């Protein structure tokens, strides 16, 4: 999947329009977490070093095409300047004469932050006229917002067909990691898919069974598969109407040579509450009031043994209700084992999705994985094998 990157761009004296993800957490009108600002630093630094004018495009929240003062990006300019260590000028629109004047006044290496793109209806409509108005202030376009890569918006898709388009450094790192995980991975490849509902991940499961050597299914999703196999899952949550679909997926996995790893023991309790009595049991030992809330230690050990033989791991979704101990045990043990293998250089470990990232932080190992994507929907759609419009626009 070759794509254009900044190493191939002539930057000196150019106006670089950079799509970033500055949809940052705010508290009392101030940025409360600057992670996404720091993520943009490598791209901004590379452009400045190359002598480009850096003009930042971003959205914040969902104003739905009207100006909502509380959703302005103005409060981001100060924290961004602090992160970058350089002055950041803010313009209270993203198109038109005020922007053109501010860009003309910039020196090479200067940084400009434009107002919320979603104050204009044309942004989410992928409107060609709005994209042309954005492009009028740039000589090249840099997409550094993989989190928005699954949405064909004016500032991510249409503009990439007007100006020469390149992947920023954060986007480049994400795409390289994803290619290593599923595009042309080192085998064997192990996937972990968790979460509560099979219905939300049908496309994902159908895509993965054709590409993986092993697929471990956890969380509430596993209950549906166990029920489909004929196990009594007692009071556990499951989408019982999807049992035929689960059996189809299991048959497809077998046909494709993908070994499914479902729980062989479980941790149960009568309620999903902190401090509730729980026990570990085999699948044939549930009582009518039991609810399966985590994979058991033998299941976790089998998964870790699969990690030992794998060369690549891709992970989306926890194995249990990790937010409520002790139902975090399997997820935490598996995460720490994967992280240790990744640190030792014997496993390429890539993970993504909001719950997955939270689970890795809970286990204290998010920084030890080869790559952790915070992109949410874009990461999931990529795992589903879908073409991401904004990535396609960057391909050579």
**Which residue, among 21, 113, 122, has the nearest Cα to 63 in the 3D structure?**
122
The three-state DSSP-derived secondary structure of 235-276 is: CCCCCHHHHHHHHHHHHHHHHHCCEEECCCEEEEECCCCCCC
What DSSP line would sit under 89-148, residue for residue?
A: EEES-SSSHHHHHHHHHPPTT-EEEE--GGGSHHHHTT-HHHHHHHHTT-SEEEE--GGG
Q: What is the pTM of this model?
A: 0.88
CA gap 287, 8 in Å, rounded: 63
Write down the catalytic residue from 51, 65, 109, 354. Answer: 354
Residue 252's CATH number: 3.40.50.1260
Same domain, 192 and 63: no
Domain boundary pick from 117, 152, 168? 168
Same domain, 155 and 23: yes
Write down the catalytic residue from 121, 197, 256, 386. Answer: 197
Same domain, 128 and 203: no
Same domain, 129 and 235: no
Q: Is residue 1 part of a domain?
A: no
pLDDT of residue 387: 86
69-73 contacts, C-beta under 8 A, 24 or more apart: 70/29, 71/116, 71/118, 71/119, 72/115, 72/116, 73/22, 73/113, 73/114, 73/115, 73/116
Q: How far apart are the first and last CA of the chain?
A: 8
Same domain, 36 and 115: yes
Structural domain count, the chain: 2
Domain boundary pick from 138, 168, 198? 168
Same domain, 159 and 228: no
Same domain, 122 and 250: no
pLDDT of residue 64: 95
pLDDT of residue 1: 62
Same domain, 192 and 316: yes
Same domain, 109 and 205: no
Q: Is residue 187 part of a domain?
A: yes
Write down the catalytic residue from 51, 65, 377, 385. Answer: 377
Cα dihedral angle (333, 336, 342, 346), rounded to 10 degrees? -40
Q: Is residue 161 part of a domain?
A: yes
Same domain, 347 and 216: yes
Active site residue 354: yes
Q: Is residue 396 part of a domain?
A: no
Q: Is residue 390 part of a domain?
A: no
**Which residue, among 7, 113, 115, 17, has the nearest Cα to 61 in the 3D structure?**
115
Same domain, 321 and 216: yes
pLDDT of residue 19: 98
**Which residue, among 311, 317, 271, 309, has the nearest Cα to 293 in the 3D structure?**
271
Residues facing residue 46 across a β-bridge? none
Domain boundary pick from 145, 168, 191? 168
pLDDT of residue 268: 98
What does pLDDT average to in each consecutive run of 10 residues of the chain (396 residues)?
A: 90 98 92 92 98 98 96 97 97 98 98 98 97 98 92 95 96 91 93 93 93 97 97 97 97 97 98 95 97 98 98 96 97 98 97 91 96 87 88 86
Give Dmax over CA atoms of the chain in angstroms: 73
Q: Is residue 394 part of a domain?
A: no
Active site residue 64: no
Same domain, 144 and 277: no
Q: Is residue 43 part of a domain?
A: yes
Write down the catalytic residue from 36, 48, 118, 211. Answer: 36
Q: What is the residue range of 59's domain?
A: 6-168
Q: Is residue 392 part of a domain?
A: no
pLDDT of residue 150: 87
């Amino acid at each position: 999947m070759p794509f254009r990157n900044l190493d191939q761009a002539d930057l000196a004296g150019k106006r670089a329009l950079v799509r970033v993800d500055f949809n940052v957490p705010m508290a009392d009108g101030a940025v409360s977490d600057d992670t996404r600002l720091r993520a943009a630093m490598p791209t901004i630094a590379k452009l400045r070093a190359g002598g480009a004018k850096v003009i930042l495009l971003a959205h914040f929240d969902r104003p739905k095409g009207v100006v909502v003062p509380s959703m302005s990006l103005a409060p981001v300019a100060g924290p961004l300047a602090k992160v970058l260590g350089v002055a950041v000028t803010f313009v209270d629109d993203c198109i038109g004469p005020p922007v053109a004047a501010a860009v003309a006044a910039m020196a090479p290496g200067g940084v400009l932050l434009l107002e919320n793109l979603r104050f204009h209806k044309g942004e989410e409509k992928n409107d060609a006229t709005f994209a042309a108005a954005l492009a009028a202030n740039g000589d090249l376009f840099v997409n550094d917002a993989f989190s928005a890569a699954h949405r064909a918006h004016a500032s991510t898709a249409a503009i990439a067909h007007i100006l020469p388009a390149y992947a920023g450094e954060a986007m480049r790192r994400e795409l390289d990691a994803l290619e290593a995980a599923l595009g042309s991975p080192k085998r064997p490849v192990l996937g972990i898919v968790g979460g509560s509902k099979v219905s939300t991940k049908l496309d994902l499961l159908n895509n993965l069974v054709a590409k993986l050597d092993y697929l471990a299914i956890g969380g509430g999703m596993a209950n549906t598969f166990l029920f489909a196999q004929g196990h009594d899952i007692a009071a556990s949550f499951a989408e019982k109407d999807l049992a035929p679909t689960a059996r189809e997926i299991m048959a497809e996995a077998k046909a494709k040579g993908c070994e499914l790893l479902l729980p062989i023991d479980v941790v149960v309790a009568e309620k999903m509450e902190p401090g509730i009595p729980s026990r570990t049991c085999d699948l044939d030992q549930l009582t009518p009031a039991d609810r399966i809330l985590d994979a058991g230690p033998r299941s976790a050990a089998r998964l870790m043994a699969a990690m030992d033989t794998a060369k690549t791991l891709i992970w989306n979704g926890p194995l249990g209700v990790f937010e409520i101990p002790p139902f975090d045990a399997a997820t935490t043990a598996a995460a720490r084992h994967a992280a240790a293998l990744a640190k030792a250089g014997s496993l390429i470990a890539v993970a993504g999705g909001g719950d997955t990232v939270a689970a890795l932080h809970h286990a204290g190992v998010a920084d030890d994985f080869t790559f952790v994507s915070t992109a949410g929907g874009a990461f999931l759609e990529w795992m589903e094998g879908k073409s991401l419009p904004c990535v396609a626009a960057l391909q050579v």
